[in-house]
Amino acid sequence: MHIHEYQAKSVLKSFGVPVPNGAPAMDVDEAGEVAAGLEGPVFVVKSQIHAGGRGKGRFKELGEGAKGGVRIASSVDEVRADAAEMLGNTLVTVQTGPSGKKVGRLYVEEGSEIAKEFYLSLLVDRVTSRVSFVVSTEGGMDIEAVAAETPDRIVSFSIDPATGFMPHHGRRVAKALDLDGETAKQAHALAANLYAAFLAKDMEMLEINPLVLTGAGDLKCLDAKVGFDSNALARHQDIAEMRDESEEDEKEIEASRHDLSYIALDGDIGCMVNGAGLAMATMDIIKHYGAEPANFLDVGGGATAEKVAAAFKIITADPNVKGILVNIFGGIMRCDVIAEGVIAAVKEVGLDVPLVVRLEGTNVAEGKRIIDASGLNVISADDLDDAAQKIVKAVGG
Ligand code: GDP
Ligand code: MN
């Protein structure tokens, strides 16, 4: 799960991480009030969307000459004018895709004088099974570009969970950023606090880009992007409450309401499968036969007919879906229950695309009988291979 920059900064602040003073604003008046309460004289007005690249982004509704999604303002009136231009408009950045994201919230903070910009992130490194630091002197830039063009400017190391964060890790961060004296000490503390926050809140990634050295010689996090392990949210009520559903895929929200594991993908074959392993295998075999899955969907072991119907509706609501493959192995789940759920859903929402059903396991004969007796135009398949070939053929692949 992702949160907004202003939320990430409040979490980090509670761990003693230095961030500029600021507060969120939902409308123009509030933006003005926040600015009036800050020291100034320079303010930064920032669009809050779950995507980076806001500074260089463009608003769809504004002309080419208009400013981007992160703006420097030198008076409260200017803050209000910027807020009025940003709120309710659609910001397009390299990370939002061409359709962009509507700005519903702003963050107004005190402007910082920047002497140097750095990059610092923490992530779960699956190769070493540890939390890794990625540090670079090339701040404020796209880190993928830095990795491709000047990889020697990126320093990365992981933390042994048995020892935790050690003073030498802090020194390594300071050295990678070419800092010494008092600022090096600040870098040690910053790195230790970020690591503590990362562990305590079950983060998946934490990216500070840019981390800056201010004119006064202090380190400050000017931007913060944080992702959390969704499976650990049950023990972080404070984080779970930060969820902004307007930033998430409509279909994924609906799926989570029905306790379905669903991830929207870019292809055109909708998949309804029980069990994560079978779902992965189904996606693989669709790709093997030259097509692309429109989603990952695991209806789980003990799904009811209602849950199957909900899953079917989510799949058919996706305009990219040109065909549907239902692939169920009835172990705990009975094939007749699946068949009833699929038919109930088709009767309710209709079916405009080819549907291939492969059932196997408990009550398979009854399941097939129910589907045959329904009079629906369903292509039945005998095994996974057969099913994949049939659906790929049906969508014209
Ligand atoms: P992003 O474009 O979505 O990554 O948003 P950022 O929060 O990183 O802001 C974009 C850029 O605006 C930063 O890389 C900085 O160069 C600049 N910026 C942000 N805050 C300040 C500030 O307080 N002072 C100055 N001078 N520049 C800032
Ligand atoms: Mn940034």
SS3 content of the chain, % helix, strand, coil (to 5): 40, 25, 35
Q: Which residue has the tokens 């990952």?
A: 296
Output the pLDDT for position 342.
86
Tell me how far apart the alpha carbons of residues 327 and 334 are, in angstroms, rounded to a whole number: 13
Active site residue 119: yes
Candidates 137, 110, 141; CA nearest to 37 is: 110
Low-confidence residues in the chain, pLDDT < 70: 397
Q: Which of 5, 107, 109, 119 is catalytic?
A: 119
Q: Find the 338 Cα to ligand 2 centroid distance in Å.
A: 46
Active site residue 195: no
Output the pLDDT for position 252.
85
Tell me how far apart the alpha carbons of residues 332 and 299 are, in angstroms, rounded to a whole number: 12
Q: Which of 85, 207, 247, 340 is catalytic?
A: 207
Tell me how far apart the alpha carbons of residues 157 and 172 are, in angstroms, rounded to a whole number: 9
Which of ligand 1's atoms lies nearest the C-alpha of 68? 2
Q: Say which ligand is closest to the CA of 47.
A: 1
Alpha-carbon radius of gyration of the chain:
25
Output the pLDDT for position 81.
98
Tell me how far apart the alpha carbons of residues 37 and 110 are, in angstroms, rounded to a whole number: 10
- Cβ–ligand 1 distance for 227 under 6 Å, the answer no
- Model confidence pLDDT, tens digit, residues 74-97: 999 999 999 999 999 999 999 988
- Model confidence pLDDT, tens digit, residues 315-325: 998 889 999 99
Q: Say which ligand is closest to the CA of 111.
A: 1
Cα–Cα distances in Å, from 363 out to 274, 329, 330?
15, 10, 8
Amino acid at residue number 273: V
Which of ligand 1's atoms lies nearest the C-alpha of 110? 23
CB 103 within 8 A of CB 87: yes
Tell me how far apart the alpha carbons of residues 49 and 25 are, in angstroms, rounded to a whole number: 13
Output the pLDDT for position 397.
65
- In order of their start, the domains of the chain are 21-110 (3.30.1490.20), 114-239 (3.30.470.20), 249-394 (3.40.50.261)
Cα–Cα distances in Å, from 345 out to 252, 308, 311, 372?
18, 8, 9, 16
